[in-house]
Structures are given as C-alpha cells and as structure tokens.
Amino acid sequence: MAPATPSRKPLMAGNWKMNNNHLEAIALVQKMAFALKEPDFDAVDVAVIPPFTAIRSVQTLIDADRLAIQYGAQDVSQHASGAYTGEISAAMLAKLGCTYAVVGHSERRQYHAEDDAVVNAKARAALAADLTPILCVGEGLEVRKAGEHVAHCLAQLDGGLEKITADQARRTVIAYEPVWAIGTGEVATPQDAQEVCAAIRTRLADLYDGGVADEARILYGGSVKGGNIAKLMAQDDVDGALVGGASLDPGEFVKICRYRDLPV
C-alpha cells in the first residue's frame, strides 16, 4: 500500500495497564515532559494511557504545564449511564479531556470475556462521545501457528467496526497486537507486523473507501522497545505503536517517540 502520508501522523501510545498510582503517574509524565521537546510533537502524537484513577492527575498536570502529551483510558463502558456498578462512561472520559479509549485489548478479551459485540458497542460509545477508540485486534499463538492470523484479525476488525460510519472509521485507530508478542519480549518481525497491518488497511478500503484506508492509523503493539521500533516504523502500513512495558520507563518511551533518530 502507499507509504504513510502526512495525514497519518504517527502515534506512540503508552498503555500503562494496571501500573502507577496517581502520584507515580504525575512523576512519569513529568519525566517524559522534561525530555520531549516541541519538534518531537510536530513529528509524532504522544499519548499516555494510565489507569482510570490517575487520569484526573495526568489531566491537571498536562493542562497546567500546557504539555502536548495526549492521554486516554484503557477501557470504556458500552453504556451511557445508569446502574452499571464499576463502569466508566465515555462522556466521563471526554469530560476529563481524554483523546483516546482503548477497546478490545486482548487482556480484556481474555480475562473479562469481551467478545466482538461488546468491543463494537464500546467503540461506538467512545465515538459518540468524540473519543478516538484504539480498537485492538490480534491472534494467539495457536492461530498464528495454524496460519490463520490474517483471517482472525480481519474477523475481529469486521466485528469491531459494525455500524461504524466511514467518518467514524477515519478517526478510529486500529492496533494490531499479536497476543504471543505481548509482554513476552518476543516482538513480531517487521514483516509480520506489516503483513497484518496491510491486510487491515486493505479491509478498511473494502469496508469503506480508499480515503478511510489512507487516513486511519494502524499501530503495532507487542514488546515494542527502543531497539526494535525503527524497523517496525519503516513498514509502509505501521503508523505507530501501542507500547506496554516500555512505556513505564520514560527513557525508553522517549526513545520510541524519537524513533527517527534511531538506526533502522
């Protein structure tokens, strides 16, 4: 497919998962803010995705210091409001200034039994509140070994995008996260990442049109580090990364954000 166009600004998003209380979150964002300079933000969107309990603190710091760091949530309720104990609505997250909401992360699919219908409802709830969903797809090791990884990811994509309009799809971020590469240190090869990201882009063109496929950002996630990001970003259809473990280390995450300075 065509190389990344200026309309696809790379996105480096740090998914902190269940790490960092609100005080630790402030310290981490402060360290990142100290290292990242204005030209970094011209080249790449940088986002942190803390636990819910830290979002308000991150917002306060980012607002007070006028930082160009974006932020979001790791999950969002499919419901708008009401008797859903423990849930957080998209409107609540929008009110906190969140840009993104991750939906369909494999850890939610695996440990919280979220299927494509739930993931789709969450994506639509996020879009309705003007949040940008980061819709995660990815295959487990068995599926990869059986050679079914592309079909598996495209089925998750189709399910996740049900009833989502072209305008909404254009601003949705898709993240390809092979489950076998998450937290294992076993990063997908750049070719593995490109194969699935390209297939996702082709599917977006089929489901919508070439404009949506050209504009939607597709991230890779799974053991991304400073040492492998440059090769991943050199792939035509990889527009950024959803980073887990390495996003907890400000030095490593800043290196990832500055992948252009690293040798390919």
Ligand X SMILES: O=C(CO)COP(=O)(O)O
Annotated binding site for substrate: 15-17, 183, 223, 244-245
Handedness of CA 139, 145, 151, 152 (dihedral sign): negative
- Identify which of residues 244 and 250 has a Cβ nearer to ligand X in the complex: 244
x/- site string to ligand X, residues 105 to 144, per CB under 6 A? x---------------------------------------
Q: Minimum Å distance from CB 140 to ligand X?
A: 13
Residue 152 annotated as catalytic: no
End-to-end CA distance of the chain: 20
* Near ligand X by CB under 6 A: residue from 164, 219, 224, 254: 224
Residue 79, judged by CB atoms within 10 A of its CB (0-12, 13-18, 19+), counts as middle
Residue 177 annotated as catalytic: yes
Q: Minimum Å distance from CB 17 to ligand X?
A: 7
Q: Minimum Å distance from CB 69 to ligand X?
A: 17
x/- site string to ligand X, residues 180 to 219, per CB under 6 A? --xx------------------------------------
Which of 105, 107, 149, 252 is catalytic? The answer is: 105
Q: Does 177 bind ligand X (CB under 6 A)?
A: yes
> What DSSP string describes 118-186?
HHHHHHHHHHHTT-EEEEEE---HHHHHTT-HHHHHHHHHHHHTTT--HHHHHT-EEEE--GGGTTSS-
Q: Are 157 and 203 in contact (CB under 8 A)?
A: yes
* Near ligand X by CB under 6 A: residue from 20, 57, 89, 223: 223
Q: Does 72 bind ligand X (CB under 6 A)?
A: no
> What DSSP string describes 218-256?
EEEESS--TTTHHHHHTSTT--EEEESGGGGSHHHHHHH
Q: Minimum Å distance from CB 199 to ligand X?
A: 20
Q: For residue 225, count other CB atoms closer than 10 A to its CB.
A: 17
Alpha-carbon distance 209 to 196, whole Å? Answer: 18
Q: Minimum Å distance from CB 81 to ligand X?
A: 27
Q: Are 106 and 143 in contact (CB under 8 A)?
A: no
Number of residues that bind ligand X (CB under 6 A): 14
Residues that are catalytic: 105, 177
Give the residues lining the site for ligand X (CB under 6 A). Answer: 15, 105, 177, 182-183, 221-224, 242-246
